[in-house]
Structure 1
Amino acid sequence: MSERALEISARVEQFVRESVAPYEGDPRCGAHGPSDELAMELKALARKAGVLTPHILPDGSHLSHRETAAVLIRAGLSPLGPIACNVAAPDEGNMYLLGKVGAPEIRERFLAPLVKGEKRSAFFMTEPAEDGGAGSDPMMMQTTCKMDGNHWVINGRKTYITGADGAGVGIIMAKSDDGACMFLVDLPDPAIRIERVMDTIDSSMPGGHAVVSIDNLRVPADQMLGESGEGFRYAQARLAPARLTHCMRWLGACVRANEIATDYANRRMAFGKPLVDHEGVGFMLAENLIDLKQAELMIYWCADVLDTGAVGTTESSMAKVAVSEALMRIADRCVQCMGGQGVTTDTIVEQVFREVRAFRIYDGPTEVHKWSLAKKVKRDWKKVQDQA
């Protein structure tokens, strides 16, 4: 690990543990995520501490994926940490995308306020099942875009749009005659209506997850990202590292949950001795250490692949499956070790359990990634047979 990453991650960890964790019981943390008031208050603290958007350097360049892992794992030590440090989803993934493929004017108008923590963003891709729209299969996209003069006109519905309520920047995917397209828009816009914000199992992301209607939204042609028909390519460029950064943040959360469970098991007495001395509990904590280390190694391995310049879709699928499933086991064991205390809001353990359960679906459920890997197994086998 580079010296700069070690230094940044150490400052992030100290900030999250000392300045952010005390806010975990703040009443402004609601069912649809922390309020924007709380998010801005936390970002102001991070700005003062010099850890706001720490993965993007002052000259606009990014830390490597390996370095980013060290930083985001520490930011994730509290569910509020990524929000405070401005490395939360979907903003972190959107910043990465715009920094990679956005034209200079796009970066100045839409990326700069995200990096500064002045605005939040939303990524409009998934569509309602009742409309026959795109979910895990993006080829089913129903939202359309058509040229009208020097504008594109967009119509459709989207769902599970994280952070749409309160966002200042939107990235919208729609389908033209050429294929998928991606557009940058200022929010709010009267043509984009939030039908409702859904009640979901998770509650860590400001704005929650919304169902959205888009009615005759007019977008200037120069606000298209790239060319017509290139949207899926850009979406994949965003999703491969975004899946990995989810792993990083939630690994940090599980490290903290395991710390809390370990402390409880060493202090709580039952049947004449601390819980940790009962094999049923001690062994669960031992298994947590194994899963935590395996998850960490998988994350750094996948980060190294991305740092070679490879797209890394196979590796990110492997990481998403292995890490999300390992973290689910860890969070579940933490709850179990703490018994009744583990399902209360007295600690973040119950929230981490809920968030990690949702993570197994974010950016494609586990089964979709296994299916993708199974297809690779078949392709590789066929390639060997053809060469034989």
Structure 2
Amino acid sequence: MSSLPVGTLSPKFRALQEAMTKFVNEECIRAEPIFEQQLGRGEGRWKREPPVVNELRAKARALGLWNLFLPKSLYPGGHDLTNYEYGLLCEIMGRSVLGPLATNCNAPDTGNMEVLAKYGTAEQKRRWLEPLLDARIRSAFAMTEPAVASSDATNIRTSIRRDGDEQGGEVVVINGDKWWISNAGNPECKVFLVFGVSDLDNSDPHRRHTVVIVPADTPGVEVKRPMTVYGYDDAPYGHCEVSFVDVRVPVSNIVLGEGRGFEVIQGRLGPGRIHHCMRAVGMAERALELMVERVQRREVFGRKLVEQGVVQDNVARSRLDIESARMMVVHAALKMDAVGTKQAMKEISMAKAQVPKLALRVVDRAIQMFGAAGVSQDTPLAAIWAGLRTLRLADGPDEVHMRQIARLEIQEQKHKARL
């Protein structure tokens, strides 16, 4: 739980914070073993979502813990939370893998809903946004490709081109291979937002790409396989390899307009990176709690672990890392609230490059305190570690963010020198 002062937070937010804390601790964390039991083994893991998820969703909706990421300016049923406030709630959700799922605040659906709410036509919202907001369907964002360095999105080569159809009108034809497409294995995933190149010859590399809505049951769409993350397949959601072969959808499925794909992805990535980072802080908090609980009841060489100086050092260093990580995210969120996402890009990149590493250090210490149990399925620590390590690659690898931090810092220093 955040130790930040809450004097500037509204009573409405504090009520949400209290309800979220109780819900995650008493419902989501307790439901984790039930989720694993219901998920089972083998191919059946990909056939349905464990029923406990929908049970948790019903409880979250009844508590008003639903679609907290969307402001009322984008959707009438949204919430008027600042990035700072929502970030604090993300920290609490991040304590359990089921927290975001239960509250309909899970990636990639949140980003896709934001895209549709910001840029979608009335028909696109009716067909896709409304059922997503109601959790009747799930979605995926198809961007990363196996054949190119996707950390530079101008490299993306999936083809998006116009073509005539049998009735003499125009359709969009999509060809390409994607991978690490989160949620694509979900049996409830009904729609892809596909990022591809529509005008390779455009002199502006950021005007070459387009985002298109593709229903998952469109002929030519094939989910080929789930990718594993350090052996975890993340069923029933998955991070899958997906092929698009002569996929034909109406031109009306284009989001915002041809050549405006970069506008779309920048509109969804900035806030999303902060949400990921704050959830990472929540994961680290849970790891530290597990560590402290462990060292108080285990003995080695005639003394409890908690009495060992090296263990106390690990606890102290973990608290320092968590507070440092939280403050970096809060700083970025507050700047976003004050001046907007675009003007806070350096702070967002700073958090994205540093917070997962700080959280990983905490989880790694906790694993060490658990010994062999820490790398097993008997604690959540191994899965948390795998997720956090992957976060150093997702939404831009560390190196891309370091490059951006340096570039923006140099610009700022040059500006100061001219004043």
TM-score (norm 1): 0.92
Give secondary structure in 2 for the equivalent of 1:364.
coil
1:169 aligns with 2:191: yes
Give secondary structure in 2 for the equivalent of 1:170.
strand
Which has the larger displacement, 350-359 or 57-66? 57-66
Asked whether the 8 Å contact 1:28–1:35 carries over to 2, the reply is no
Amino acid at match of 1:165: G
Alignment of 1:94-105 (within 5 A): 94-105=112-123
The answer for the alignment partner of 2:78 in structure 1 is 61
Amino acid at match of 2:68: P
Amino acid at match of 1:135: S
Matches of 1:332 and 1:35, distance apart in 2: 32
Asked whether the 8 Å contact 2:184–2:239 carries over to 1, the reply is yes
Alignment of 1:224-235 (within 5 A): 224-235=254-265
Alignment of 1:1-388 (within 5 A): 1-25=9-33, 26-29=36-39, 36-38=49-51, 39-56=53-70, 59-62=76-79, 63-129=81-147, 133-148=148-163, 149-166=169-186, 167-177=189-199, 179-201=208-230, 202=232, 204=234, 206-308=236-338, 309-311=340-342, 312-383=344-415, 387=418
Residues matched between the structures, number: 384
Amino acid at match of 2:37: P
Matches of 2:190 and 2:353, distance apart in 1: 32
The answer for the alignment partner of 2:6 in structure 1 is none
Matches of 1:35 and 1:22, distance apart in 2: 21
Give secondary structure in 2 for the equivalent of 1:50.
coil
Give secondary structure in 2 for the equivalent of 1:27.
helix
Matches of 2:389 and 2:225, distance apart in 1: 22
Amino acid at match of 2:372: G
Which has the larger displacement, 201-210 or 354-363? 201-210
Which has the larger displacement, 211-220 or 34-43? 34-43
Shift of 1:106: 2.1
Give secondary structure in 2 for the equivalent of 1:36.
coil
Amino acid at match of 2:90: L
Give secondary structure in 1 for the equivalent of 2:245.
strand
Give secondary structure in 1 for the equivalent of 2:283.
helix
Post-superposition Cα deviations, 1:302-346, rounded to whole Å, max 9, x if no partner, equal: 111221323232221111012111111111111112222222222
Asked whether the 8 Å contact 1:5–1:70 carries over to 2, the reply is no
Change beyond 3 A, Cα 1:216–1:141: same
Asked whether the 8 Å contact 2:283–2:359 carries over to 1, the reply is no
Shift of 1:17: 1.2
Matches of 1:159 and 1:104, distance apart in 2: 30
Give secondary structure in 1 for the equivalent of 2:37.
coil
Matches of 2:108 and 2:352, distance apart in 1: 16
Change beyond 3 A, Cα 1:204–1:260: farther
Give unmatched runs, 5+ long, in structure 1.
none
Change beyond 3 A, Cα 1:81–1:193: same
Shift of 1:172: 0.7
Which has the larger displacement, 202-211 or 273-282? 202-211
Shift of 1:111: 1.3
Amino acid at match of 2:111: G
Change beyond 3 A, Cα 1:29–1:324: farther
Matches of 1:138 and 1:381, distance apart in 2: 28
Shift of 1:134: 4.8
Matches of 2:220 and 2:364, distance apart in 1: 43
Change beyond 3 A, Cα 1:127–1:183: same
Matches of 1:67 and 1:109, distance apart in 2: 30
Matches of 1:252 and 1:33, distance apart in 2: 28
